[in-house]
């Protein structure tokens, strides 16, 4: 098998520093101390591919767009080009995918978010060459990604048929302002597999009762780290403040300690006992790893976790998922958990 691998090296950098994406914000992300996320996730996916299909022929672009990550995973890649400037962009992704098509690859494996997916799909439009994403962005709405980097590597190694799936994207400036308007950017051939994520669904039913239940259970002296989304928006309103709709807020004893907080701000405001309250993404089931990278492994390890969701949202989810950038933490989080669905009621759900 011949696979073209392209890494968007800046994908997801804006997440932990509170920028909700990297489009037009790379310099600011770096000023805030952001570290690249995509290279390590690329290595994880390619290492799994190497374990299962070590004879795979890898074509890639020069650093920082995949060559080193392929070598780190044990491959000797064919480098088909190099970025046109130190700061890579959509034009470099387009050029890489065009080179892969010229080389007649069997699959384009890309590492990035929805914007990268849209760039890849644009070049592949009109061909039957499939694409598969290793999730590394802040917002991952499209249904062309593996659930985790390892899942993407396994799918790349084992798939035998494809199907057409949606590529979605949103305007990051609107997203930072608290508005989500997903737009269909394309339809692409993707390997058929169980461990592909679904397109994100919006909405999830009434949440007033569960928001009241969370407020009823607030304990003095406990720091509450409240994730993004409309469900948590209802919880924040019940607690008496207007939080950031798509950001993470930190609250304790009636005081808003940090609004739309970065990872560093969350860690700085934690106390002796801390509780993260999160809701799964509709249609996908992720409680960590999609839309809330500020809730990093370092933050999660300092907190208890409470999951809340409307009954209608859970009815559409078979399981919950995590993808924290730390495989050991992901494994520790897996298992059965109680999800608050009302003021008093809870439902058992499995985190896989």
Residue 36 is encoded by which pair of tokens?
A: 């690249």
Q: Return the domain boundaries, the chain.
A: 2-191, 208-351
Mean pLDDT of the chain: 88
- Residue 19 has phi, psi (to 5 degrees) of -95, -10
Q: What is the predicted pLDDT for the residue at 311? A: 83
Closest Cα partner for 14 from 44, 34, 39, 40?
34
Residue 128 is encoded by which pair of tokens?
A: 């039957």
* In contact, 160 and 46? CB cutoff 8 Å: no
* In contact, 9 and 39? CB cutoff 8 Å: yes
Work out the pLDDT band at 35, boundaries 50, 70, 90.
low
CATH fold for domain 2-191 = Rossmann fold (3.40.50)
Work out the pLDDT band at 170, boundaries 50, 70, 90.
low
Look at 65-69, 207-211, 285-289 and tell me which has the smallest mean pLDDT: 207-211
pLDDT in tens, 56-92: 999 999 999 999 999 999 999 999 999 987 778 899 9
Q: What is the predicted pLDDT for the residue at 174? A: 54
* In contact, 132 and 188? CB cutoff 8 Å: no
pLDDT in tens, 94-108: 999 999 999 999 999
pLDDT in tens, 1-25: 999 999 999 876 655 545 555 555 5
Residue 204 scores a pLDDT above 60:
no
Q: What is the predicted pLDDT for the residue at 26? A: 54
Is the pTM for the entire model greater than 0.75? no
Alpha helices in the chain (DSSP H): 26-31, 38-52, 67-72, 90-102, 114-124, 149-158, 172-176, 208-216, 230-238, 263-269, 297-301, 311-315, 327-333
């Amino acid at each position: 098998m011949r696979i073209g691998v392209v890494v968007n090296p800046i994908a997801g950098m804006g997440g932990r520093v509170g920028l909700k994406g990297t489009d037009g914000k790379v310099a600011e992300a770096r000023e805030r101390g952001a570290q690249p996320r995509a290279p390590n996730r690329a290595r994880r996916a390619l290492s799994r591919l190497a374990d299962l299909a070590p004879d795979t022929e890898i074509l890639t672009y020069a650093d920082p767009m995949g060559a080193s990550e392929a070598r780190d995973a044990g491959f000797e890649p064919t480098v088909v080009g190099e970025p046109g400037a130190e700061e890579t962009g959509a034009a470099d992704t387009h050029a890489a995918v065009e080179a892969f098509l010229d080389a007649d690859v069997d699959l384009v494996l890309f590492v990035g978010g929805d914007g990268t997916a849209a760039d890849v799909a644009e070049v592949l439009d009109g061909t039957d060459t499939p694409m598969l994403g290793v999730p590394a962005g802040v917002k991952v709405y499209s249904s062309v990604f593996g659930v985790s980097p390892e899942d993407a590597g396994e799918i790349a190694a084992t798939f035998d048929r494809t199907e057409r799936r949606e590529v979605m994207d949103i305007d990051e400036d609107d997203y930072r302002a608290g508005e989500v308007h997903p737009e269909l950017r394309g339809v692409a051939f993707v390997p058929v597999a169980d461990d592909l994520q679904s397109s994100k669904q919006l909405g999830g039913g009434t949440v007033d009762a569960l928001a009241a239940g969370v407020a009823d259970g607030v304990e003095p002296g406990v720091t509450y780290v409240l994730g993004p989304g409309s469900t948590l928006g209802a919880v924040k309103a019940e607690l008496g403040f207007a939080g950031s709709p798509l950001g993470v807020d930190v609250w304790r004893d009636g005081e808003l300690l940090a609004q739309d907080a970065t990872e560093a701000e969350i860690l700085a405001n934690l106390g002796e006992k801390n509780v993260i309250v999160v809701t799964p993404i509709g249609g996908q089931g992720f409680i960590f790893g999609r839309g809330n990278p500020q809730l990093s492994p370092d933050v999660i390890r300092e907190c208890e976790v409470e999951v809340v969701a409307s009954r209608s949202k859970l009815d559409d989810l078979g399981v919950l998922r995590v993808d924290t950038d730390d495989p050991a933490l992901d494994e520790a989080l897996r298992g059965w958990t109680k999800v608050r669905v009302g003021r008093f009621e809870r439902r058992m759900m499995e985190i896989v």
